[in-house]
């Protein structure tokens, strides 16, 4: 992998000292690409993202083997907020907007790792609103009273406020109607194309994710069992049968 890659190498994760959840996972995300991490509920997708962001500790999980590199340097010893400063940010599953704050206040919390002037903050906000016009319309609304799709947009928009080079996006389609899922993936594609943000996308929704991703990895019980270009995976008979429910 070249200097602009995120790569994780042979990661093993154990929860509570005994539960081996990732059994040596390796993957790379090239600069400017969308990579999908696919697999059933419980396969280890969220754990993989948390291993990258160093969010496992709080959950009594430990990386016992392997390394994470970003742009050629080790990042596995950084705190989550230092990793954000390096350009890698995670959007957690389940959206996690602050329900009692307005959409705009939520977005502003995303800029905390930078010290921006009021003018720069406004520029960042305008950028987010450019990609998510719905958030602009709803900017004064209390986040907890907005729709699931708007809350997912708010979570991605908040991550954008940190000006990331790479977003680790966990299950953005969860609980959303198909039309909203498409809307969100279109925006992801747009951010990738225009802002050159790379994405590592954990998804159970294999079919949709492979339409938007460049490359995919399939995780099963903590191991990568298949990988390939998104088009190849979409047309692979095993993938169709086991993961797309088209058998």
Polymer length in residues for the chain: 247
Q: Give whichever of 60 and 100 is closer to ligand ATP, judged by the CB atom.
A: 60
Least distance in angstroms from the C-beta of 42 to ligand ATP: 4
Task: Give residue for tokens 């339409």.
Answer: 211
Closest listed residue to residue 8, CA positions, set 59, 54, 58, 60 = 54
The C-alpha atoms of residue 25 and residue 45 are separated, in whole angstroms, by 10
Q: Give whichever of 60 and 194 is closer to ligand ATP, judged by the CB atom.
A: 60
Q: Give whichever of 39 and 110 is closer to ligand ATP, judged by the CB atom.
A: 39
Q: Give whichever of 105 and 220 is closer to ligand ATP, judged by the CB atom.
A: 220
Task: Give residue for tokens 């948390």.
Answer: 50
Give the distance from CA 244 to its chain's centroid.
21
Q: Give whichever of 93 and 195 is closer to ligand ATP, judged by the CB atom.
A: 93
Least distance in angstroms from the C-beta of 221 to ligand ATP: 8
Least distance in angstroms from the C-beta of 57 to ligand ATP: 11
Least distance in angstroms from the C-beta of 125 to ligand ATP: 30
Q: Are 88 and 165 in contact (CB under 8 A)?
A: yes
DSSP sequence for 59-110: GTEEEEEEEEEETTEE-TTS-HHHHHHHTEEEE-TT----TTSBHHHHHHHT
Strands 34-38 vs 215-220: parallel, antiparallel or unpaired: parallel
Q: Is 163 helix (H, G, I), strand (E, B) or coil?
A: coil
Site residues for ligand ATP per CB under 6 A: 15-16, 19, 21, 39, 41-47, 59-61, 93, 171, 204
Closest listed residue to residue 93, CA positions, set 203, 177, 7, 197 = 203
Task: Give residue for tokens 């991703």.
Answer: 213
Least distance in angstroms from the C-beta of 208 to ligand ATP: 15
Least distance in angstroms from the C-beta of 190 to ligand ATP: 25
Q: Give whichever of 55 and 125 is closer to ligand ATP, judged by the CB atom.
A: 55
């Amino acid at each position: 992998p070249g200097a602009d890659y995120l790569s994780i190498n042979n990661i093993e994760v154990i929860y509570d000292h005994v539960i081996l959840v990732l059994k040596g996972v390796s993957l790379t995300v090239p600069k400017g690409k969308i990579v999908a991490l696919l697999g059933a509920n419980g396969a280890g997708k969220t754990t993989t993202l948390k291993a990258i962001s160093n969010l496992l500790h709080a959950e009594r999980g430990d990386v016992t083997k392997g390394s994470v590199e970003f742009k050629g340097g080790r990042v596995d010893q950084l705190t989550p907020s230092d990793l954000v400063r390096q350009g890698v940010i995670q959007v957690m599953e389940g959206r996690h907007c602050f329900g009692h704050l307005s959409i705009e206040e939520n977005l502003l919390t995303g800029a905390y790792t930078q010290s921006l002037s009021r003018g720069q903050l406004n520029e960042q906000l305008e950028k987010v609103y450019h990609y998510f016009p719905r958030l602009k319309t709803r900017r004064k609304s209390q986040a907890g009273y907005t729709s699931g799709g708007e809350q997912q947009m708010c979570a991605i928009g908040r991550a954008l406020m940190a000006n990331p080079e790479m977003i680790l996006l966990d299950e953005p389609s969860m609980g959303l109607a198909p039309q909203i899922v498409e809307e969100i993936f279109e925006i992801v594609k747009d951010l990738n194309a225009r802002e050159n943000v790379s994405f590592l996308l954990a998804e159970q929704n294999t079919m949709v994710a492979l339409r938007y991703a460049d490359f995919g990895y399939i995780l099963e019980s903590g191991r990568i069992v298949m990988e390939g270009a998104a088009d190849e995976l979409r047309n692979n008979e095993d993938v169709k049968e086991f993961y797309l429910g088209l058998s």
